[in-house]
Amino acid sequence: MEVIKITPRGYCYGVVDAVSLARDVASDPKMPRPIYILGQIVHNRHTVEELEKLGVRTMDGSDRLQLIAGIDHGTVIFTAHGVSPAVRIEAARKGLKTIDATCPDVTRTHDLIRELAAQDYSIIYVGKKGHPEPEGAVGEAPDRVQLVENQADVEALDVNVPRLAVVTQTTLSQWDTQAIIESIRARYPQAEVHNEICLATQQRQEAVATQSREADVVLVVGDERSNNSNRLVQVAREIAGRPAYLVGTAQDIDPAWLKGRRKVAVTSGTSTPTHITRDVIQFLEDYQPE
């Protein structure tokens, strides 16, 4: 098949740094054992399995305070998604060695929330419920931040204050976020908007929106728990108007998706290892559709 390789795609700087930090920790004999990662370091099971082989245990779950309750000694790595101050305090109280792999873009959002809260703002945080990034960000000022995920959440808001700010999660769809922000502005014209969708996420979404228009079908390589990979599928469907599917590996490709198609566009989420995307591209280049 003809394969359109969408660029940029795949690993972002935040993920590259987090994974390489975890590898360094695993190979450092001075680090107290056992070594844990609080949640999936990135939402990709291949990366998690690779680190398991190096002796790094993943504590799976999005409630990091609950996860840390199960650790008595050793080293704890905080993921690129960031953690709340309550988690840091609890790790220190337990005497755990901590390694912080929080992406600088997420740290910037945490700093922003703290600054806004200190200036007496109420904050609406647009993000995905149950995802670790909002948990960490909202935890910076839990009394001041309300998490909204969709229009129904916006309608349910009751925050009539003069100082109101809107802050977004880093990996949302720019188009969805815009619609939610417009609804918030319609209800609360005083709201100051801080769009924190990171550059890596924006560039990958824009690339899909423009480069997949010529394709008959779009495949996004990524884990089903990866928010930014799921958003790329959504952008391909809703913005580029193409049929689009999420695949973990080449084995997940359903031949029915390729039947009668000639051109397939491929991209991958910021947490997808490069070699898996390469395998998918190779599979498609060799594939003879019916």
- Catalytic machinery residues: 133
Positions 195 through 214 that interact with ligand SF4 (CB under 6 A): 198, 200-201
Site string for ligand SF4, 262-281 (x = CB under 6 A): --------x-----------
Crossing angle for the helix pair 227-238 and 199-211, to the nearest 10 degrees: 30
- Taking the least distance from each CB to ligand SF4, the nearer of 20 and 160 is 20
Cα 141 to chain centroid, rounded: 21
Cα 189 from Cα 244, distance rounded (Å): 36
Q: Interface with ligand SF4 by CB under 6 A: which range of 65-73, 101-109, 152-160, 280-288?
A: 101-109
Q: Does 137 bind ligand SF4 (CB under 6 A)?
A: no
- Taking the least distance from each CB to ligand SF4, the nearer of 80 and 266 is 80
Q: What residues contact residue 97 under an 8 Å CB cut-off, 6+ apart?
A: 31, 32, 74, 75, 76
Q: Does 79 bind ligand SF4 (CB under 6 A)?
A: no
Cα 171 from Cα 182, distance rounded (Å): 18
Tell me, what DSSP letter sits at residue 130?
T
- Taking the least distance from each CB to ligand SF4, the nearer of 212 and 270 is 270
Cα 232 to chain centroid, rounded: 11
Of all residues in the shown chain, the one whose CB is closest to ligand SF4 is: 14
Q: What residues contact residue 46 under an 8 Å CB cut-off, 6+ apart?
A: 273, 276
Minimum distance from residue 196 beta carbon to ligand SF4 (Å)? 8
Cα 11 from Cα 48, distance rounded (Å): 14
Q: Interface with ligand SF4 by CB under 6 A: which range of 12-20, 71-79, 236-244, 256-264?
A: 12-20
| Residues at the site binding ligand SF4, with contacts judged by CB under 6 A | 12-15, 80, 103, 105-106, 170-171, 198, 200-201, 228, 270
